[in-house]
Structure 1
Amino acid sequence: MVKRPAGRTLLLAVLVLAILGLQARLWFGEGSLRHVASLRKQVAALQAENDTLADRNRLMSADVEDLKEGLDKIEEIARRDLGMIREGETFYLVLDRDAAR
C-alpha cells in the first residue's frame, strides 16, 4: 500500500467534508429542492386565488360601469332586492303549496 503525505490526506478530507456539507444544504437546508418544491406549490395556490379575485374584480368593474351608464342596472337591482314595481304594473305572487307546508 502506498503511503500518502499528511497534507494531501488532510486536503482530501477537507474537500470531502465540503462536498458533504454542500450536498446536505442542497437536500435539507434553506433553498433545498424540497423547499423550492414547497414554494412552487404555494405560488401556484396564490396564483389560482389571484385569478379568482381578478375575475371577481372584472365582474364588479362591469357592474360599476353599468351603474354609471344607465338606469337599467339600477332598475334590475331595485326589482330584485327591493321588490320595486312600476306604476301601472300588476304584481302576482304565486306560492308553491309544497313549499308552504
Structure 2
Amino acid sequence: MRLLLFTLIITAVALQTQLWLSDDGYRKTHQLRVAVGEQRTQNQDLANRNAALDAEVINLKKGRAAAEERARSDLGMIGHNETFFQVVPAQSVRRQ
C-alpha cells in the first residue's frame, strides 16, 4: 500500500514538473496566448486600414470630387477657369 502511494506521489510530481517546466508546458501556452492576442490586434488594425482603402477606391471610382481632390493634391493640377498662384518665400538679403 505504501509503495502504491509513493508511486502515485512520484508520478504526480513528475507530471506537474512537466506541466510547469517543459517546453510545451504552461509557459509556452502563456506565450502563445500573448502572441495570438498581439496578432489579433495587428489583424484588426490591418482590417481597418483595408476598409479605409476600399472606401477610398469606391469613392475614386464613383465620385468626381475625390478624383479632382487627388489630382490637385498629388499632381498639382488646377481646374477649368481657376488661377494658380505660387507663393515663393522671400530670401533674406545679407547686407555688408
* Fold in common (TM above 0.5): yes
| Alignment TM class, shorter chain as reference | 0.7 to 0.9
State the distance in 1 between where 2:63 and 2:82 align: 21
Q: Deviations over 1:43-63 (max 9, x none)?
A: 121111111101101100101
Root-mean-square deviation (CA, aligned residues, Å) is 1.8
Question: Does the alignment pair 1:26 with 2:25?
Answer: no
Paired residues in the alignment total 91
Q: Deviations over 1:60-95 (max 9, x none)?
A: 010111012121111111111111112321111123
Question: Residue 90 of structure 1 aligns with which residue?
Answer: 83
Q: Could you tell me which amino acid in structure 1 is paired with residue 51 of structure 2? A: R
TM-score norm. by structure 2 comes to 0.80
Where has structure 1 moved over 4 Å in runs of 4 or more? none
State the distance in 1 between where 2:86 and 2:54 align: 33
